[in-house]
Amino acid sequence: MQFLVLTKKAITIFLMAVCCLVLAGIWYLQNSSDVPVTNAVPSENAREIHLVTGEFKGKLPNGNEIEAYRWDPGTIFVEKDEKVNLVIYGVNGMEHPFHIEGTNIKGTVKRGAETKVPLLFNKEGVYRLVCELHPDKDHSGPMIAYIVVD
């Protein structure tokens, strides 16, 4: 019977190789040219889609107050390669920093102001617009909208 003996050096080299592969994969996914792109400035002849920030409040039977934030509408539809200006008006909450998953698109919506986000997706799919302050129920969310690209 044979036994495999692993030394600390072999385990360390193996773990370093795994870390390098994971980091290379993350870099590749973030820098892949197969992700949606955005124009540098809002396009004049693009379709405008309007969203607002919303807030719901309620009381639990024990008297505790709860609240949840959302984007409204919660789902929008765009065509692949369609120029779109996403116009988000901040109604509730002081500010909502956001990102669109699978893209390099980031921004912040502030109360009483419009934020224009130029979009041009070159790949079909469903992309999530996520408020970084309210990503889940533990942070008065989830404040997530879905961008469906056909």
Whether residues 58 and 127 fall in one domain? yes
DSSP β-bridge partners for residue 56: 68
Strands (E) located in 8-143 = 47-59, 65-72, 75-78, 84-89, 95-100, 106-110, 114-119, 125-131
Q: Are residues 57 and 126 in the same domain?
A: yes
Q: What is the pLDDT of residues 60-69, one digit of tens each?
A: 999 999 889 9
Alpha helices in 45-120 (DSSP H): none
* Per-residue pLDDT at 13: 81
Structural domain span for residue 17: 7-36
Residue 46 has pLDDT above 50, yes or no: yes
Average pLDDT, the chain: 85
Condensed to tens digits (0 to 9), the pLDDT of residues 80-112 reads: 999 999 999 999 889 999 999 999 999 999 999
pLDDT at res. 27: 58
- Residues 11-39, mean pLDDT to the nearest whole number: 63
Same domain for 17 and 59, yes or no, is: no
HSE-CB at 97 with a 13 A cutoff on CA atoms is 2
Q: Identify whether residues 21 and 71 lie together within a single domain.
A: no
Tally: H helices and E strands in the chain: 1, 9
Query: Phi-psi bin for 40: left (phi > 0), alpha (psi -120 to 50), beta?
Result: alpha
Task: Check residue 8 and give its pLDDT.
Answer: 83
Q: Do residue 57 and residue 110 come from a single domain? A: yes
By C-alpha distance, which of 126, 49, 119, 117 is closest to 83?
Answer: 119
Give the count of domains, the chain.
2
What tokens were used for 29?
Answer: 């996914």
Q: How confident is the model at residue 149 (pLDDT cuts 50, 70, 90)?
A: very high
pLDDT score, position 34: 45
Residue at 69 is within a domain: yes
> Which pLDDT value is given to residue 18?
73
